[in-house]
Amino acid sequence: MYKNEKLNELAKAVAAKRAENASLEPRRMTAEEKENLLATFHPDYKQDEFTVLTAGVNKGEKVPTQLAELLQGHSRITADDVDLSHPDYDTDVLVIGGGGAGASAAIEADEAGVKAMIVTKLRIGDANTMMAEGGIQAADKPNDSPAIHYIDAFGGGHFAAKPALLEKLVTKAPEAILWLNKLGVEFDKEADGTMVTTHGGGTSRKRMHAAKDYSGAEIMRTLRDEVLNRGIPVIDFTAAVEIILDENGKAAGAVLMNMETKELLVARAKTVVIATGGAGRLHYQGFPTSNHYGATADGLVLGYRVGAKLLYADTLQYHPTGAAYPEQIFGALVTEKVRSLGAKLINIDGDAFMHPLETRDVTAASIIRECSERGKGIETEQGAAVWLDTPMIEYKNGEGTIEKRIPAMMRMFGKYGIDIRKEPILVYPTLHYQNGGLDITPDGMTDVENLYAAGEVVGGIHGRNRLMGNSLLDVIVFGRNAGIHAAAKAKECDVPQKLTLDHISKFDSQLSEAGIETETASPMLLPKYARKSK
Ligand code: MEZ
């Protein structure tokens, strides 16, 4: 039951039309309808929320205003703050970030026989990988193929993905599932061992492999165990604050900062992998976020300051279904799997106003339109929202489906007295994913030699919109890929001798030349509302 009586009343309209809505198949939008909808209602199209960069390698391109402030900020340190001639750590491959991509990279580097080390500003596993719910895509069923997976993802990303990256993503996907399965991920399976697969928005085949609705947590648990079992060193509560270069401009390590004591340390490495994840905690355009506490765009800043280009940094993903009620879980992810299992999006009149499995950008824009221009949203303390008719899942698939397939959702709402088997829930878009990021080659290298990137910090794999389940996939495929190539490169390199942080003053000069006066120090490391240490 909702504590709010008005909501209980309104939910009755949803129940009254459930049978009718369940038998209805709202039509898919035409390409033209989608274009118009996005241009008018998707947050990426609000020009006044973006700033054109005037310094750095992406000068002339627009990025969200909060990101521009960080990219065009000053370093947290000066070159004189550290002694580069006496490194505190020496390794072959330095992995920055303890999420799924960082862990996968470190495992593969270790497998290749080089020394790998992970540094992470929180703890290993405190990452968006852990927060992913609905599943991971791979075309491994007889009616599917990587080519069909490619077509779905390329279209869903508005034909903007870098073909070589997307090709790698889809062709390596079946192998990624086998790798995870072998490491011990408990995927949902039929009695005969066949993997259970479902649809996601924009997929033409059922290729979403899941561990109920905590797929990311299950994958991260397994990867973390593997890292620890291999004895790969993990330096936690330690952030990278600057990339170190050698005299030839190649990446050669990072300056680290102990998050508690603020002590600065030097890590020297032959190659470096940035795997710092996303940016939801910048709360672009005031949106809540489904992201973990540390998602503050650090890797974009680290890379940008040493000259690594960004691709599509102006495109973000607003997951259509963030929890809109109650306020304690405002913005938390309500997995797309809820819609894959048959729940529909319903407005205040009880009408299913769109096909529930359009791509995410289209679905989010459609919900925003329903709540704004059409005035068909349901008012809550946090603003307008629409219903997601969860009881429809059991109406269509039988009793017990919700507990079996999406137990985490049932528990999350159950804590607040809402039984999602009996009552619909309220949802509104939440900031979920950065589609853009560091530009990489198919080997995972950025524009800076020996500097690799993997996971959400990368741009170009998905184009300008990502399909559900392709992020967990890219974390694994491109995490492993970066580890393999960074290890191979490290084997060819000598230990870097002359380490420099000259890029800091060079970047400051660029800021001055552009007339940028700012007090901002970046990377940000923790959200603005983090409690300040005494
Ligand atoms: O890929 C994602 O973002 C994902 C699986 C999210 C979800 O809805 O569960």
Interval between CA 133 and ligand 1 midpoint (Å): 6
Evaluate the CA torsion angle 302, 305, 309, 313 in order and state its sign.
Answer: positive
Catalytic residue (one of 18, 76, 199, 339): 339
Identify whether 319 is a catalytic site residue: yes
Interval between CA 170 and ligand 1 midpoint (Å): 17
Q: How far apart are CA 489 and CA 481, in angstroms?
A: 12
For the chain, the 3-state helix, strand and coil shares in percent, each to the nearest 5, are 35, 20, 45
pLDDT at site 25 = 87
Closest by CA to 226, choosing from 193, 179, 269, is 179
CA 485 to chain centre: 23
Q: Which amino acid is at 402?
A: I
Residues 6+ apart with CB under 8 A from 74: 508, 511, 518, 520, 521, 522
pLDDT at site 533 = 63
Evaluate the CA torsion angle 167, 364, 62, 277 in order and state its sign.
Answer: negative
In this prediction, the residues of the chain whose per-residue pLDDT falls under 50 are: none
DSSP strands (E only) in 404-492: 425-434, 437-439, 451-453, 458-459
pLDDT at site 3 = 85
pLDDT at site 311 = 98
pLDDT at site 14 = 97
What are the tens digits of pLDDT across the range 245-294?
999 999 999 999 999 999 999 999 999 999 999 999 999 999 999 999 99
Q: What's the predicted TM-score (pTM) here?
A: 0.97
What are the tens digits of pLDDT across the range 120-175?
999 999 999 999 999 999 999 999 999 999 999 999 999 999 999 999 999 999 99
Q: How far apart are CA 32 and CA 48, in angstroms?
A: 24
Upper half-sphere CA count for residue 146 (Cβ side, 13 Å)? 14
Q: How far apart are CA 119 and CA 239, in angstroms?
A: 7
Interval between CA 172 and ligand 1 midpoint (Å): 19
Interval between CA 217 and ligand 1 midpoint (Å): 12
Identify whether 158 is a catalytic site residue: no
Q: Give, for ligand 1, the residue of 214, 333, 345 to mutate: max count of ligand atoms closer than 8 Å to Cβ.
A: 333
pLDDT at site 1 = 85
Q: How far apart are CA 183 and CA 82, in angstroms?
A: 40
Closest by CA to 482, choosing from 232, 243, 271, is 271
Are 240 and 298 a contacting pair, CB within 8 Å?
Answer: yes
Output the ligand 1 site: residues, CB below 6 A.
132-135, 335-337, 468-469, 471
pLDDT at site 534 = 54
* Three-class HEC string of 365-405: HHHHHHHCCCCCCEEECCEEEEEECCHHHHHHHCCCHHHHH
